[in-house]
Amino acid sequence: MNQQEIAMLREELEMLMSERTNLLKVVGVAAVLVASTDGRNLPPETAEAAEMLSKCVNDLSEETLKDALDAVHAGTGRDGL
């Protein structure tokens, strides 16, 4: 593998890691939103969307969910939002 290929792979990996970080933040905020929302107080369409979001969050592995919550500092007393 030559230096140019290595540099391209490094750039791609850095881009993917940055994207993962951004996605973890989105998931973390979504998890906090789901946990703090009472579906009984939402309009039916919004409640349906919240339920779909809740199912997606619940389908995550425990490790991924922990990483997502850590990404937004949920539960640590720091405001990461």
The predicted-structure confidence for 23-70, as pLDDT tens digits, reads as follows 999 999 999 998 888 888 899 999 899 999 999 999 999 999 999 999
pLDDT at residue 78 in the model? 47
Q: What is the pLDDT of residue 39?
A: 81
Q: Where residue 81 falls among pLDDT bands split at 50, 70, 90?
A: low
| Res. 76: pLDDT tops 80 | no
Name the more confident of 14 and 45. 14
pLDDT for 75 equals: 58
CA Rg, the chain, in Å?
A: 17
* Closest to 79 (Cα-Cα) out of 40, 46, 32: 32
CB < 8 Å & 24+ apart, contacts of 75-81: 80/28, 81/29, 81/32
In this prediction the pTM is: 0.77
